[in-house]
A and B are shown apart, each in its own frame.
Chain A
């Protein structure tokens, strides 16, 4: 019940395309859903996060869509660029819990072809 299932494991998209990464959770106590971006040789960095009181959040070219009834959320990257090539992790936690009690998805290795 603590798992966050992420798919696909890897994704190759042409420049300008819209990669979509999906995540699903089971624990209904989760109420904070961040996405992290990790480049080779670097630690993960917070990209965008959403709470279940909204169904969509946009920050620049990155959009999170959230479906509370299905317990699913996804990341869309508009007008993708080669510089977006990285590993993306979804995550979930409870707002009231410690920042460290975040459950991470298994990651998606995204490659944007020029």
Chain B
């Protein structure tokens, strides 16, 4: 069974631009979560989608948004990029939404904002 895939793997943008990252969960998984990983802040939860509905949201500004499609694939969008948005963005999928469900992480998208 294929793992979680994320595209693109690397991305370079300039301040003020917007970016869309994509995540394909493991087949059969209905929950997709997004995390931001930085050396200074560690792993921080962005949001979770389950069956196309946002279930939870972390403490990030409204510039960060996401959605989930009927096939469980998910996208996250960051508008008006700032230098501080440079990070590794990780997507994780799980069968269900409860913490009893193991999350499987993708390799991440490395975003660099210049």
Which A residues fall within an 8 A CB radius of B?
32, 41-46, 89, 93-102, 104-107
Contacts and interface: CB of A to CB of B under 8 A. Distances in A.
Interface residues of B, number: 28
Given A100-B33, A100-B45, A95 B99 contact: yes
Interface of B: 4, 31, 33, 42-45, 47-48, 55-56, 90-92, 94, 96-108
A100 B55 contact: yes
A101 B90 contact: no
A93 B45 CA distance: 12
Contacts of B107: 41-43
A contacts with B: majority SS: loop
Contacts of A43: 4, 90-92, 105-108
Given A95-B99, A95-B100, A97-B99, A102 B45 contact: yes
Given A42-B107, A43-B107, A99 B42 contact: no
A44 B55 contact: no
B26 to A, nearest CB: 12
